[in-house]
Amino acid sequence: MTNPTSATAGPKSKPAVSPQAADIVEVRQPVPPFTRETAALKVRLAEDGWNSRDPEKVSLAYSPDSQWRNRAEFANGRREIVAFLTRKWQRELDYRLIKELWAFDGNRIAVRFAYEWHDDSGNWFRSYGNENWEFDQNGLMERRFACINDLPIKEPDRKYHWPLGRRPDAHPGLSDLGL
């Protein structure tokens, strides 16, 4: 007997959703409208997520239909975000990121950031950029627009030396580092 969900059986039907599952609403604290404190927390949580370099985990901060522009690449929805981040972190090795709140209003946050990484030939870079974020009422990011420039650096010029993962609380931020 042919499996009705196999690729040769045609389009897959959507599975039935239980009433309990249909009532689940994704909420990602903090939610808008943002205060200075909650906007700064949202930025730090995003930094922590990206420093995990776990595309699946990071994608959960975005709405299922989130729209991105990252440099000249566009991604729509979590599946494309996961694919984008997977490619990114396969290319940008030993990635370490610092984000800083720039401005906020209502459900929008502007961020500046810098991250360090190297390619598979051992060439180091510091990438600088700005992001504009827009959130839905549940705190999921609906839109992300990122502008980024890469600066080749020598390994001795690196400023981010913490072990891979979350930036330690005592590590200086962008302003403290003069970036």
Q: What is the pLDDT of residues 60-118, one digit of tens each?
A: 999 999 999 999 999 999 999 999 999 999 999 999 999 999 999 999 999 999 999 99
The confidence score (pLDDT) of residue 25 equals 81
What pLDDT is recorded for position 20? Answer: 56
Residue 15 pLDDT more than 50? no
pLDDT in tens, 89-104: 999 999 999 999 999 9
Q: Where are the domains of the chain?
A: 28-113+130-147
Global model pTM greater than 0.95? no
Class level of CATH domain 28-113+130-147:
alpha beta
Write down the pLDDT at residue 80. 98
Q: How far apart are CA 62 and CA 84, in angstroms?
A: 13
User: Mean pLDDT throughout 127-156?
Assistant: 98
